[in-house]
Amino acid sequence: FFAVLFIFFFLVSLVFSNYPTFMKETLVLPASLLSSSHFRVMLKHYQHFLIFQFAVDEINKNPHLLPNITLGYQLFNNFHNNKLAVENSLIWLSGRGPTIPNYSCDRQPKSVAVIGGMSSSLSMSMINYGPFDLLLTDKAQYPYVYQMGSREATLHLAVIQLMLHFDWTWIGLILSDNTRGEYFFNQLKEEMVRNGLCVAFKESVPTIFDTENIEAIKFFFRIIVSSSNVIFIYGDAECFQEFSIEMIDFVLYGKMLVTTSSWDFSVGSNYEIINHYHGTIIFSPSKIEVPGFTDFLRSLNPSVNPEDIFLKTFWELVFSCKLSEGSPVEMIHSLCQEHLSLAHLPRVDLDKHIIEQSSYVYKAVYLVAQALHQINSLPCIQLHHFLKCIKPVKSVSDESCGDGSRMTAEKYDILNFKSFPDRIEALVKVGEVIPHYQGLSINEANIDWPEDFSQTPSSKCSLSCGPGFKKTIREGQPICCFDCTPCPEGEISNQTEQCLQCSEYQYPSKEKDRCLDKTVTFLAYEEPLGMTLACLALCFSLLTTLILTVFVKHRDTPIVKANNRSLSYTLLISLSLCFLCSLLFIGRPNTATCLLRQTAFAVVFTVAIASILAKTITVVLAFKATNPGSKLKRCLGSTASYSLILICTLIQMCLCGIWLGTYPPFLEVDVHSEPGFIVIQCNEGSIISFYCVLVYLGFLALGSFTMAFLARNLPDTFNEAKFMTFSMLVFCSVWISFLLTYQSTKGKAMVAMEVFSILASSAGILICIFAPKCYVILLRSDRNTLHILKIKANTSEAICSQLFLTNHMK
């Protein structure tokens, strides 16, 4: 393609006189470029010459700015080539003859200022309108360089905000291989680390690409095979010329490109290649409208300006036509229509070519003009004094000085490049960002993503962990590359992907993605377990009362008399109270129930076990007392039995008193025993005292079991020793099992287990001892008489039984 020349040097010539002096614009075009075989279409930069031309014409028509003085200019081109920049600089200084340093052969008046190119390497000792470059801020080395472009001090923050908005954490970077690119990378990487973002790869664009060079192939291969789906491209325009051309052969499929307006990816590309950049996101400093510039553009016509070869080439390219048969643009076949103007150009095309740097050129021209105006008023003052801080005019108004010492808060437009059929292209503004204020607004509905993505692209080294999982960083890899491991028990993970401990009064949900409030619980009467245990307690208590009623009603029968009816009454009453004591363990605990339930049960149960012990001792002593001359008869009375019960009960009451006086039971809230529940329960206080009470009960039960075992072979007509032996065996089995499982059971299950142990042991005693007697009393009354002894009168056992019965009845 024929090259659309990039504007490099704008030489502003000034003639001081008492009458207007008009200078003809001069174009110097090196012949070597015309013979070059590489023609590059760079429509994007033609605007710089147009805005310069517009500003000069506007100043020359302004009677209040530089009156009686006309600005002229000369135009040179560098094609983004440092060598040509030096060559054209010498031509400008020496004239169009031999380029001799420090010697000028040009007869025209000397120029007083230079408006340079778009980068530091092309703009030494000039007014730079390109992006702000730190290389040019050294006033010791470049005392007379004034930068008009955006400082881009917060561009890295704008990029970070975009990445965070779309949750792009795995980013590839392609930067220009110079100080500017390295400085930007250091700023960007520091901010990425602070926000948890990672660099997938970093590639520096070499100055010269050679597709036959294996290193160039490796360069693109590393980009293509990278797992990052989002690539940010940043650098000087000249650094990316060869890169853009080589991308024709190395199309980045499946990659989302994010860049700045400095990169012209249309260089050397045809429509088919441009289509691959569809969906690219571009950061551009917010455009400042230059009043009247749009009308100026639409008034241009090659027929009015026949000497403007740039306008001629631009015209042929944007309207796809030829102005003459000898046009070098061979791909265009039809002649341009005479009535065409830039007013007929679609708005999207106009926006594509007229972007933010137009305003910088405009400000640069006005900066020089205002400085010259001040010098004309105060000749003794040097030009640079005014160039340092001259405010731009009209609506192009940021408050930056020429040397960039003051900068306002930067604002960036977020543009979306769209490529449509019929070679229609557009840059559509989809949002804006003000990095200083963390302000990002973007309309995702207006964004067209690259064709390789059916929805918003995702770029992550590792997929986000689901609920209940946490990040585990892979050793030796960036923080964005991780594995997902389950959270420990009692912890949750939410959007932070880190496991968090729920508070004591909360518990994790089933998905472990949130904490739920725990439910207050206890062994309540309303729940099935509590209701069942309470019903059993009441039923057994009622059954015990019924048995007591039966015994009272049949108190004069031989079987009731032979089994020491007073001790039987005591045992039945204590068993009934034992069943009722279990109700203290059910329901919402309070301080009173915590103090009473263990001690009350211990005392009442002691009475029951002591009664059994007294009964077994009485049985043994009764048979021993039948021997002639035995002195044990005085021990068979009720006084001795009740004395034994009283002594055993007083000992248990002393143990309970010591327990309550030292470290009594108290009400507590248990948040750990049952997941999802807050258990209100009684803490036993002193565990030693609690075990002492149980051990004492066990000691009495063991004594009763031993005595009953010794009396098992006595005559059994009315002997209950065997039944008491079995009842004590049941009792001991129940409470040994309780003690073994007590420490491993928590919460209300522990309470339920203790209630069950009370009911089981009490029911075992009741059934084993009194069920046979009730059977005889109610169903076999024929056996509840003294006549039964006569049938067995010939046996020694019968005789012993009769003697025992006779003595005991007395």
d(CA 138, CA 692): 90
Token pair 């007392």 is found at: 625
Residue 788 pLDDT = 57
Positive or negative: CA dihedral 122, 124, 125, 127:
positive
Cα–Cα–Cα angle for 256, 174, 268, rounded to 5 degrees? 80
Enumerate the β-bridge partners of residue 520: 678
Q: Determine the pLDDT at residue 294.
A: 75
> Any idea which fold 7-149+356-387 has?
Rossmann fold (3.40.50)
Residue positions counted in the chain: 810
The per-residue pLDDT for 268 is: 54
pLDDT at 458: 92
CATH of domain 155-288+411-446: 3.40.50.2300
In angstroms, the Cα distances linking 444 to 455, 456, 701 are 11, 9, 82
Q: Residue 184 is which amino acid?
A: F
- CA distance linking residue 198 with residue 229, whole number of Å: 13
Coil/strand/helix, residue 365: helix
Judge whether 7-149+356-387 and 155-288+411-446 match in fold. yes
> Which parts of the chain sit beneath pLDDT 50?
1-40, 125, 128, 332, 347-348, 352-354, 390-407, 717-718, 789-790, 792-810
Q: Where are the domains of the chain?
A: 7-149+356-387, 155-288+411-446, 469-512, 528-809
Judged by DSSP in three states, 46 sits in helix
Residue 540: what pLDDT? 93
Question: What distance in Å separates the CA atoms of residue 223 and residue 201, rounded to the nearest whole number?
Answer: 8
Gap between the Cα atoms of 231 and 256, Å rounded: 6
Q: What's the CATH architecture for 528-809?
A: Up-down Bundle (1.20)
Residue among 683, 686, 690, 691 nearest 666 (CA): 683
The predicted structure's pLDDT at residue 359: 74
Looking at residue 745, its pLDDT comes to 80
Residue 31 burial by Cβ neighbours in a 10 Å radius (0-12, 13-18, 19+): exposed
- Residue 449 CA to residue 576 CA, distance in Å, equals 83
